[in-house]
């Protein structure tokens, strides 16, 4: 089976992890801070808070932005469920904005129309979560402009997009977002086993991210209510969580980060080969806009709805690890129980009926890719 994604672990990665295992700290030590610094240096953000998953990073980001009961968060249906669930953890409502059928990212005019209506109804969102689907950065400038006009926070779900670039800015720089979130799950661009990071340029958000990461406890005298106590004193100021990353994970991440540009380059090369091979076939691939360097976490194609089941099954039985990204989040039973139903986001729903993800990972060989291409051609006959 050629999988749709796969991590790359080198002897250097293993050495770095072993070093930590032999050291004094296997969690809450110096490597986590060093990993955070390496990531922020790479993406040009002021702060990075490393956590135990991308999902935790999304949850902490919502807490940092004071998302709560009575608020709402908007995201897209074409994403992993975590982009929406983070609002539910905070007791907030979720709503969905449809996607652009070519870029497969949040459709900015749908967002704007929805904002116009929400303003009339006095139901504007507190947070909007655009998702860099498959590694392609969203239309940042436009979304940022709307955020200023309508007064919402932008929480960018860049779990697919570490290593991507938009108009010269690395994804994660937070030039157009309040907080940007990465995942380091093994199928993503770089891995820490499980892990994630929340990036921001805002001092207050950074403090709150760190506070909520570790039980809401602080040892920072500056922010304590009671400053008269001794060196032993700590305060729990908020109901936080244990979302900390381990030193073991951070060591792996720091080592992987050194190869992120190579990974993204190889992923782009392989995507280019696919694009060329499929140019004359009845398949549609994702449009990557000028100014974007996608990190190509995923390579997705659209095949006509009537052919999709057969196409998917034929490839699967030929040993090609196909997948569907994503089942529209609003059509999951949990979200249906909150009142969403088919027809709510027609573009995302149509895309989902046609979508197939093909294998793409940096260690994929040219021969493996040729096998996939040949099987795709056969499956379309």
Ligand X SMILES: *Cc1c(COP(=O)(O)O)cnc(C)c1O
Which residue ranges make up the site for ligand X (CB under 6 A)?
53-55, 79-80, 82-83, 131, 157, 159-160, 183, 185, 196
Q: What Å distances lie between residue 158 and 171, 307, 339, 377, CA to CA?
A: 7, 31, 27, 32
C-alpha–C-alpha distance, residues 122 and 116, integer Å = 10
CB of 182 to ligand X, least distance (A): 8
Write the CB contacts of 209 (distance below 8 Å, at least 6 apart in sequence).
Answer: 47, 49, 60, 61, 63, 64, 179, 198, 200
Judged by beta carbon, residue 260 or residue 379, the one nearer ligand X is: 260
Q: For 198, phi and psi rounded to 5 degrees?
A: -110, 130
Mutual orientation of helices 140-150 and 108-120 as an angle, nearest 10°? 10
CB of 187 to ligand X, least distance (A): 7
Judged by beta carbon, residue 55 or residue 162, the one nearer ligand X is: 55
Write the CB contacts of 255 (distance below 8 Å, at least 6 apart in sequence).
Answer: 10, 12, 13, 16, 17
CB of 80 to ligand X, least distance (A): 4
- Output DSSP code: residue 278: T
Which ranges of 197-345 would DSSP assign to H, the alpha helix?
Answer: 203-213, 247-257, 260-277, 305-317, 333-336
Tokens of residue 343, six digits: 């027809």
CB of 54 to ligand X, least distance (A): 3
CB of 53 to ligand X, least distance (A): 3
Judged by beta carbon, residue 153 or residue 243, the one nearer ligand X is: 243
**Helix (H) or strand (E) segment spanning residue 342:** none
Judged by beta carbon, residue 62 or residue 379, the one nearer ligand X is: 62
C-alpha–C-alpha distance, residues 325 and 346, integer Å = 16
CB of 171 to ligand X, least distance (A): 13
3-class secondary structure, 27: strand
Judged by beta carbon, residue 126 or residue 188, the one nearer ligand X is: 188
Tokens of residue 226, six digits: 């009671």
Judged by beta carbon, residue 190 or residue 364, the one nearer ligand X is: 190
CA angle 171, 176, 178 (to 5 degrees): 95
Tell me the β-bridge partners of 292.
166
Tokens of residue 353, six digits: 């009926």
CB of 231 to ligand X, least distance (A): 36
CB of 278 to ligand X, least distance (A): 24
Judged by beta carbon, residue 150 or residue 321, the one nearer ligand X is: 321
Judged by beta carbon, residue 100 or residue 375, the one nearer ligand X is: 100
């Amino acid at each position: 089976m050629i999988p749709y994604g796969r991590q790359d672990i080198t002897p250097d990665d293993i050495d770095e992890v072993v070093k930590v295992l032999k050291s004094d700290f296997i969690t809450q030590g110096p490597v986590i801070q060093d990993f955070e610094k390496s990531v922020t240096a790479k993406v040009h953000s002021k702060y990075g808070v490393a956590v135990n998953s991308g999902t935790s990073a999304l949850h902490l980001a919502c807490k940092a932005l004071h998302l709560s009961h009575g608020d709402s968060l908007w995201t897209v249906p074409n994403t992993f469920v975590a982009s929406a669930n983070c609002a539910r953890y905070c007791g907030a409502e979720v709503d969905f904005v449809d996607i652009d059928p070519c870029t497969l990212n949040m459709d900015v005019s749908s967002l704007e129309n929805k904002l116009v209506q929400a303003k009339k109804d006095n139901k504007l969102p507190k947070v909007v979560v655009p998702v860099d689907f498959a590694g392609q950065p969203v239309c940042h400038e436009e979304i940022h402009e709307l955020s200023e006009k309508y007064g919402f926070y932008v929480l960018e779900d860049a779990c697919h997009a570490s290593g991507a670039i938009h108009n010269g800015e690395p994804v994660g720089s937070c030039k157009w977002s309040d907080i940007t979130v990465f995942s380091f799950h093994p199928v993503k661009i770089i891995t820490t086993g499980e892990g994630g990071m929340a990036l921001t340029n805002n001092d207050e958000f950074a403090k709150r991210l760190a506070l909520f990461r570790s039980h809401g406890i602080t040892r920072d005298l500056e922010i304590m209510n009671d400053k008269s106590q001794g060196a032993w004193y700590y305060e729990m100021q908020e109901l936080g969580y244990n979302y900390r990353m381990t030193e073991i994970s951070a060591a792996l991440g720091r080592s992987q980060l050194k190869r992120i540009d190579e990974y993204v380059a190889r992923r782009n090369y392989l995507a280019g080969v696919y694009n060329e091979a499929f140019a004359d076939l009845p398949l549609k691939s994702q449009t990557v806009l000028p100014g974007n360097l996608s990190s190509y976490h995923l390579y997705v194609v659209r095949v006509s709805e009537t052919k999709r089941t057969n196409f998917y099954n034929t490839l699967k039985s030929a040993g090609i690890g196909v997948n569907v990204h994503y089942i529209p989040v609003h059509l999951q039973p949990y979200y249906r129980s909150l009142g969403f139903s088919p027809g709510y986001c027609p573009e995302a729903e149509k895309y989902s009926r046609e979508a197939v993800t093909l294998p793409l990972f940096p260690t994929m060989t040219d021969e493996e890719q040729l096998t996939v291409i040949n099987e795709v051609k056969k499956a379309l006959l």
